């Protein structure tokens, strides 16, 4: 593979240090090619990584990892770092693509300090490393690399506010590529823009206001300039911010021109920049059904607005944003604010719908509890892509039920089909009594044998098909699985009752009591962690009754890029396994 | 009650507006007396409220509540606001003290927009109100009043960052009393100090950096100055910060001189400022046991450090702070940072113990999940005052088990007695494999009939007393209740088995399986919400086994200043009720 001739000689950061300066541009070019090649083939974060190649080369020439600690925020811009720390094979060798994750992973390398995939954590984490260093009397540099809009997250501010007082070595590199995941929002990014426009001299300076020394590098893709700037802050005895202006997508024209689309991309054709998979023929996802319906409702009522935290692409909100800009609010990476803002908008008479990727709603638990539910504010929260997935360990979406369903006042709904998805949004927006959340599975809306929908009445489950002996409760996206289980049971001569619970947060005690007369077994199926989830509430309800209860769902664990089918088997979630366990 | 002659004539804000300016000082004096009188008798937030009396008078003279919306951050400085909005009786009439809560409460008055008791929420909430106003085409002022260290919380930053871009009327009043709950921490408070020292002119200015217009009032206890400043920002067409320098504890010398102690105080003697209850004769709380032990361990090992988020008083950490200042880190109101910081310190080789009041740990769920548990970092988290209480609805501590116990990798421990409290801290600090949290009840360590302690082995419950037919699992502080239940059962001829589970996060399946042979009933008792909690896991375990399970604990609801005894009865948690339900 001569296209990676130089990169293949780099086994660790000291190899980077030993290169003649004249060869660094070639290294950068090979790194860029490696990132582009893998991401175009497998999908992944493109723009952030193309933008940080020179930054990473400079980091490893100036600092001494792993003695010096580099903490990558979100860590989706760490591919170049992986290329220089013994893991280039994961980008240059298609057969080994799968060996390397898209985020920093201490299990892969001693140069990765933390497993990180949620934003805005790097400064706090680095601050803890710096304090431990000081307490243990060690001497090394601690560097947080933060960018891609992560500064807007509250944890990043808390970290900066505390790190400013460290009184010892601490370096924050702000990788400013002018973007969040989508375009940037918030007053802070106005400040960054002014700093860029003024070559770093504009006042008032946010970082200086907090107490940091501040330095600016205009060309953040110039290795020499970056190296010089880092040499100056290396071994600093106090906290410093190095603001580096990089180009997101640098070196690949389609990514430079469409920064949002190439922040993260599905596999694409390098020549044209076109995504390979034709999504127009794909079946609709739950998220698309809801958002299309939301857009129609918003067209009819200007009080209905959509709120999201920097993820319009992941949530299929770009069309809504384009066509209804006055009713669309991207608050940046700021989930806490998004929930409080939604709650208050509802109190103020608007009809907000705040949409979150499943794994990120957990960034706003206190706001769900205090700002929303304690105030019983009729805002609508939509959780997308909830359920068991093959995602990276940092992007799992299986913990939302224990998280949310145990908060008082919240009505948490799980639609089982397309019609119910629309129905639940209608219901949530038509009422004024409860905060309502809607849990959407990640995949396409299923074709079902039975129609699981019925008029919504608070905490009323739907008895979709009457049977006896065994009742199967299939929550939301797992109603389809319940149908399959019922089918299997029929092969064993059991005509099972099929129930669509719909309400995660309230038991239909009447229906559950009614089952006792003609059923000795109840099965619960949920597409999420069993611990603290829906099924356990059913187990508690039947605790003193002559009904056996079997709860099926995910195990309480962090899984990392495990195929869904394998997880289903591991959790005994195939229809065969479920029936085998219950009939045993 | 001539001491409140003027105050008693104030029924709503228009009465404040109609007063001659010359009478305002008398009003302020009466308000101060009312606050002092009630707090000295009943306990409560003293310093914050004494400091905001003039500010509140000016607010209600300049703005038109409830048309103009005033959002009080934390809202523990809202007593003066209550005095001027028809609720003075709750401060001037001892017989009616209990009618008025210590926080804003829409159920009490149309002048309270939200129920608020956690900090740093006001700017986000007010931002949502402002946006709803703009969408609905309304015209009024929206004012957030933030202070007492709340600016360090991430949600406050997220709110400011977004509010800066509103492009319409928005007023943030920063009540700067130079304090957090304890002393202030973080770079931001250095900035505030410089602004105070310079009469508001120091640069760089944090608020201006985010895009706010900025104004300063040096004497924040001068009604005329405040009124003039508010008149100037009233109806502003863009976001403004009005930085007001107030004196915490103003007008009551002991509170002015000891701001931290009088932030919140137990009942005290007005003349001397001495707390009435002599705490020296009180039995030790779980928290005191743990912190005393922690201090001893820290004295022997400089790597052991205590971290907390602005609540040294509530957590009995003042002694530790005084005697081991090098090992004590108060990060300010910044729970997210506290958890990430602790996790990273542990990764860096220190032995951090981060302590939180029970109701506040929920502000850092994502950090517990991602920064701590996903990284399997051996930091120690201590949750104090967990359990059913008579607290205000904003300060409940019953939701921590569903919140924390369903996060992978975390070991969540519940000590039942004094010795076990120390033992668990020893165990947590001696190991390097798991993040460990310890759940401490709020009250005194109990005198038990049995010794529930035994060497700690991961996920091994302690069979404290062997019996048959019924097994009682009493978690943590409810082990004492389990003993009482066992006693009652004995009166019915049942020699119950008594178990101390200790591990909230992992089932002792061997022991639970073993029980089946000689027990047909298992009772679980937990001092927290049943939904998503410990007991439901036991119910799930026995779902398919011939064992009845009864889960006892709190109902999923926000309770508000309900006496504990009443809640115990409501939740069927008296020994008599438990036995009656199980034997029914």
Contact call for B394 and A405, based on CB within 8 A: no
pLDDT at A313: 81
What tens digit of pLDDT does each residue of A535-560 get? Answer: 999 999 999 999 999 999 999 999 99
Q: Where are the beta strands (DSSP E) in A461-545?
A: 462-465, 469-474, 497-500, 519-529
Distance from C-alpha of B388 to C-alpha of B559, rounded to nearest angstrom: 10
Mean pLDDT value across residues B444-461: 95
pLDDT at A282: 80
Residue of chain A with shortest Cα separation from B142: A348
pLDDT beyond 70 at A355: yes
Nearest residue, CB atoms, B529 vs list A331, A366, A406:
A406
Q: How many CB pairs under 8 A join A and B?
A: 382
pLDDT at A117: 95
Please check whether residue A389 is in contact with residue A442, taking contact to mean a CB–CB distance below 8 angstroms. yes
What tens digit of pLDDT does each residue of B509-532 get? Answer: 999 999 999 999 999 999 999 999
Q: What is the mean pLDDT of chain B?
A: 96
pLDDT beyond 70 at A78: yes
Contact call for A157 and B155, based on CB within 8 A: no
pLDDT at B466: 97
Contact call for A550 and B535, based on CB within 8 A: no
Distance from C-alpha of A41 to C-alpha of A268, rounded to nearest angstrom: 7
pLDDT beyond 60 at B410: yes
Contact call for B113 and A347, based on CB within 8 A: yes
> Mutate which of B66, B123, B202, B340 to disrupt the A interface (most A C-beta within 10 Å)?
B340
User: Which residues of chain A neighbour B372 with C-beta distances below 8 Å?
Assistant: none
pLDDT at A182: 63
Contact call for B136 and A208, based on CB within 8 A: no
Q: What is the mean pLDDT of chain A?
A: 96
Nearest residue, CB atoms, B363 vs list A113, A121, A366:
A366
pLDDT at B353: 98
DSSP string covering B208-219, please?
HHHT-EEEEES-
pLDDT at B282: 80
Residue of chain A with shortest Cα separation from B342: A128
- Per-residue HEC secondary structure of B126-158 comes to HHHHHHHHHHCCCCCCEEEEEECCHHHCHHHHH
pLDDT at B176: 93
Query: What is the DSSP code (8-state) at residue B472?
Result: E
- Per-residue HEC secondary structure of A64-100 comes to CCCCCEEEECCCCCCHHHHHCCCCCHHHHCHHHHHHC
Q: Is ipTM beyond 0.90?
A: yes
pLDDT at A210: 93
Contact call for A345 and B402, based on CB within 8 A: no
What tens digit of pLDDT does each residue of B125-138 get? Answer: 999 999 999 999 99
pLDDT at A183: 67
User: Which residues of chain A neighbour B125 with C-beta distances below 8 Å?
Assistant: 340-341, 343-344, 371
Give backbone dihedrals phi and psi of A128, rounded to 5 degrees, phi first.
-65, -40
Mean pLDDT value across residues B34-41: 96
Cβ-based burial of A98 (10 A; exposed 0-12, middle 13-18, buried ≥19):
exposed
Between B182 and B261, name the one with better pLDDT. B261
pLDDT at A575: 98
Model confidence at B47, pLDDT cuts 50, 70, 90, reads very high
pLDDT at A55: 98
Q: How, if at all, do strands B497-500 and B462-465 pair?
A: antiparallel
Model confidence at B243, pLDDT cuts 50, 70, 90, reads very high
Between B187 and A121, name the one with better pLDDT. A121
Region of B120 (left: φ > 0; alpha: ψ -120 to 50; beta: rest) is left
pLDDT beyond 90 at B180: no
pLDDT at B472: 98
Q: Is the dihedral of CA B524, B526, B531, B532 positive or negative?
A: negative
Token pair in block for residue A321: 């944003």
Name B131's Cβ contacts closer than 8 Å, sequence gap at least 6: A329, A341, A345, A348, A350, B166
Around A6, how many Cα atoms within 13 Å sit in the side-chain half-sphere? 16
pLDDT beyond 70 at B283: yes
DSSP string covering B483-523, please?
HHHHHHHHHTT---EEEE--BSSS--HHHHHHHTTTEEEEE
Model confidence at B182, pLDDT cuts 50, 70, 90, reads low
Cβ-based burial of B391 (10 A; exposed 0-12, middle 13-18, buried ≥19):
buried
pLDDT beyond 70 at A1: no
Model confidence at B184, pLDDT cuts 50, 70, 90, reads low
pTM (predicted TM-score): 0.97
pLDDT beyond 60 at B1: no
Distance from C-alpha of B307 to C-alpha of A513, rounded to nearest angstrom: 49
Model confidence at A187, pLDDT cuts 50, 70, 90, reads confident
Mean pLDDT value across residues A250-262: 93
Report the Cα B279 to chain-centroid distance in Å.
Answer: 21
Q: How many CB atoms lie within 10 A of CB B322?
A: 10
User: Which residues of chain A neighbour B206 with C-beta distances below 8 Å?
Assistant: 204, 206, 209-210
pLDDT at B183: 67
Mean pLDDT value across residues B424-442: 97
Q: Tokens 């933008």, residue? A: A51
pLDDT at A76: 87
Contact call for A341 and B128, based on CB within 8 A: yes
Give backbone dihedrals phi and psi of B36, rounded to 5 degrees, phi first.
-60, -45
Going by C-alpha positions, the residue among B74, B180, B215 that lies closest to residue A371 is B74
Model confidence at A312, pLDDT cuts 50, 70, 90, reads confident
User: Which residues of chain B neighbour A407 with C-beta distances below 8 Å?
Assistant: 399, 556
Nearest residue, CB atoms, B406 vs list A204, A303, A531:
A531
Residue of chain A with shortest Cα separation from B582: A544
pLDDT at A186: 74
């Amino acid at each position: 593979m001569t296209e990676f001739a130089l990169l293949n000689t780099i086994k660790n950061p000291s190899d980077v240090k030993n290169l003649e300066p004249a060869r660094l541009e070639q290294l950068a070019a090979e790194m860029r090619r490696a990132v582009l090649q893998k991401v175009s083939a497998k999908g992944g974060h493109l723009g952030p990584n193309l933008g940080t190649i020179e930054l990473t080369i400079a980091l490893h020439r100036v600092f001494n990892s792993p003695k010096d600690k580099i903490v990558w925020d979100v860590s989706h811009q760490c591919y170049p770092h992986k290329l220089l720390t013994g893991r280039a094979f994961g980008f240059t060798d298609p057969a080994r693509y799968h060996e390397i994750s898209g985020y920093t992973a201490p299990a892969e390398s001693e140069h990765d300090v933390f497993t990180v995939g949620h934003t805005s954590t790097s400064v706090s984490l680095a601050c803890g490393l710096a304090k431990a260093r000081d307490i243990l009397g060690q001497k090394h540099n601690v560097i947080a690399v933060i960018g891609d809009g992560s500064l807007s997250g509250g944890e990043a501010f808390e970290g900066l506010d505390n790190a400013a007082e460290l009184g010892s070595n601490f370096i924050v590199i702000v990788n400013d590529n002018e973007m969040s995941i989508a375009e940037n929002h918030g007053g802070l990014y106005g400040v960054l823009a002014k700093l860029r426009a003024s070559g770093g001299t504009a006042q008032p300076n946010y970082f200086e206001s907090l107490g940091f020394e501040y330095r600016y590098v205009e060309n953040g893709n110039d290795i020499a300039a970056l190296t010089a700037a880092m040499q100056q802050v290396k071994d600093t005895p106090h906290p410093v911010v190095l603001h580096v202006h990089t180009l997101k997508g640098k070196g690949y024209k389609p990514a430079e021109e469409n920064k949002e689309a190439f922040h993260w991309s599905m596999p694409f054709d390098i020549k044209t920049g076109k995504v390979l998979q034709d999504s127009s023929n794909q079946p609709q996802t739950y998220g698309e059904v809801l958002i299309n319906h939301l857009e129609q409702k918003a067209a009819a009522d200007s009080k209905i607005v959509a709120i999201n935290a920097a993820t319009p692409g992941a949530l299929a909100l770009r069309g809504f944003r384009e066509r209804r800009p006055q009713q669309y609010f991207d608050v940046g990476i700021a989930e806490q604010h998004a929930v409080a803002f939604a709650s208050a908008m509802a109190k103020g008479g608007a009809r907000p719908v705040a949409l979150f990727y499943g794994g990120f709603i957990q960034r706003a638990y206190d706001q769900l509890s205090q700002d929303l539910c304690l105030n019983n504010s009729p805002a609508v929260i939509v959780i997308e892509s909830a359920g068991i997935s093959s995602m990276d360990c940092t992007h799992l979406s299986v913990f939302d039920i224990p998280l949310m369903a145990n908060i008082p006042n919240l009505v948490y709904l799980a639609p089982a089909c397309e019609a119910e998805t629309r129905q639940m949004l209608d219901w949530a927006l038509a009422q004024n009594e409860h905060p309502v959340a809607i849990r959407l599975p990640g995949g396409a809306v299923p074709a079902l044998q039975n129609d699981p929908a019925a008029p919504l009445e608070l905490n009323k489950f739907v008895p979709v098909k009457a049977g006896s002996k065994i009742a199967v409760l299939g929550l939301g996206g797992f109603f389809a699985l319940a149908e399959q289980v019922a089918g299997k049971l029929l092969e064993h001569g059991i005509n099972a009752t099929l129930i669509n619970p719909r309400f995660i947060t309230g038991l239909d005690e009447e229906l559950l009591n009614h089952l006792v007369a003609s059923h000795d077994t109840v099965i619960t199926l949920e597409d999420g962690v069993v611990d603290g989830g829906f099924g356990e509430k059913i187990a508690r309800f039947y605790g003193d009754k002559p009904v056996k209860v079997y709860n099926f769902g995910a195990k309480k664990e962090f899984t990392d890029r495990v195929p869904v089918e394998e997880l289903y088997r591991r959790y005994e979630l195939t229809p065969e396994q479920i029936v085998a366990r219950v009939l045993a």
